[in-house]
Structure 1
Amino acid sequence: MNVLQKISALFLFITITCCAQKTTFSEDVVSYIANNGTEKQYNYAYDELLKMLENQFPETEANAEGWKYMNANKEKHVSEMITLLAPVYEKNFTHEEIKSMNAFYLTDAGKQLVADGSKLSEAQKQEVNEFYASATGKKIMEKQPILAAEIGKVSEGWSRDLYETALSMLK
């Protein structure tokens, strides 16, 4: 290899490494959003929107294509929301903190907390308390007001855009 080839190879390696780290962080954030129940909440919100729209705009021959689109594109629209949320978490937490949060939500206690926190066993309650007493857990609690405001803005925009899309297709 000549010097130019070595420099090119080094540049390519650095670029791939940098991009891979960023992608991994983003992927971990998306996993966290799925694991902590947030994605489930947006799936529910989408379903509720469709129920509301069914009352306002029952399916007719004129809007059948719009209904077909809305029913077929739930995953796409929820995925867009998750993509919009990822930067909020990336801005407020480090990659290591996201990994720690993900690890907690993959435990039995974390899964039960998402499924139904009122049914946590005593051991699971202890595990939840230990997590929230950790540095990462404390940071989550500290960041709650900031996260709520930022997520609220993103969610409002997503909801508005989705509703406008639905209206334009179903009227």
Structure 2
Amino acid sequence: MRNLVFVLTLFLTVTANFAQRSYHEDAMRYFSLNGTEQQYNVAIDQMFTLLKQQYSAQDIPDSIWNELKGDKKEPLTNIKSLLVSAYRSNFSHKDIKELIVFYESETGKQMVKDRTQLSDTQKVELSNFFNSEVGQKVQNQGDSLRTMVAEVSELWSRDLYNETIQKLKTKGYQVP
């Protein structure tokens, strides 16, 4: 009997973890599709532009900046992981999957690329999406979600900035 309880507990734990990972993975995919990842990629570039200006008197070689900038994959993964928590409290896994379907469509792709260039057919599809249950949820959650995303973004950018400053210090460069 104990073995049966143990096996059932183990099974339920593994299943729950798989479901969480699946939500996490789908949310990460959604952030890649809807322009969020690109937005933070630009933010990283802007941070390095600002730092280069702040440290311009120290003549830091491009090789150091390139090394510090390195692979942006880690900070992008970090921010997307932080955003998953904000989205989890607002959207179900089913909602995220429906958002992915929309953003994988030609209309979703065009909306991310340039909303002003939507065709008439795409405008109808966009309207249909926003009138759907998930579309309504997106619109209704807007303010609270924006607040949570802003808080997460602020923490992430501050940490990334401080981490980069610390790396510059270890290389012998001081805050101006």
- With structure 1 as the length reference, what TM-score do the two structures score? 0.89
Q: 1:45 aligns with which of 24, 37, 43?
A: 43
Q: Unaligned regions of 5+ residues in structure 1, if any?
A: none
Secondary structure of the residue aligned to 2:60 is coil
2:24 aligned with 1:26: yes
State the 1:48 CA deviation.
1.2
Match of 2:77 in 1: 79
Match of 2:171 in 1: none
Match of 1:167 in 2: 165
1:124-171 Cα shifts (integer Å, max 9, x gaps) = 111111000111101110110001111111111111111222223333
1:94-109 to structure 2, matched below 5 A, reads: 94-109=92-107
Match of 2:9 in 1: 11
Q: Distance in 1 between matches of 2:161 and 2:105?
A: 36
Match of 1:147 in 2: 145
Q: Distance in 1 between matches of 2:89 and 2:110?
A: 27
Match of 2:53 in 1: 55
1:41-78 Cα shifts (integer Å, max 9, x gaps) = 000110111122222224536x965x344221422112
Match of 1:89 in 2: 87
Q: Distance in 1 between matches of 2:167 and 2:66?
A: 10
Secondary structure of the residue aligned to 2:141 is helix
State the 1:10 CA deviation.
2.8
Q: Percent identity?
A: 34
Q: Distance in 1 between matches of 2:5 and 2:150?
A: 46
Q: Distance in 1 between matches of 2:124 and 2:14?
A: 41
Q: Distance in 1 between matches of 2:36 and 2:28?
A: 10
Consecutive aligned runs of 4 or more in structure 1 exceeding 6 Å deviation? none
Q: Tell me the matched-pair count.
A: 167
Q: Unaligned regions of 5+ residues in structure 2, if any?
A: 169-173
Secondary structure of the residue aligned to 1:78 is helix
1:7-51 Cα shifts (integer Å, max 9, x gaps) = 433332222111111111111111111111111100011011112
Greater shift in the superposed pair: 130-139 or 157-166: 157-166
- 1:28 alignment partner AA: D
- With structure 2 as the length reference, what TM-score do the two structures score? 0.86
Q: Distance in 2 between matches of 1:78 and 1:70?
A: 15
- 2:120 alignment partner AA: E
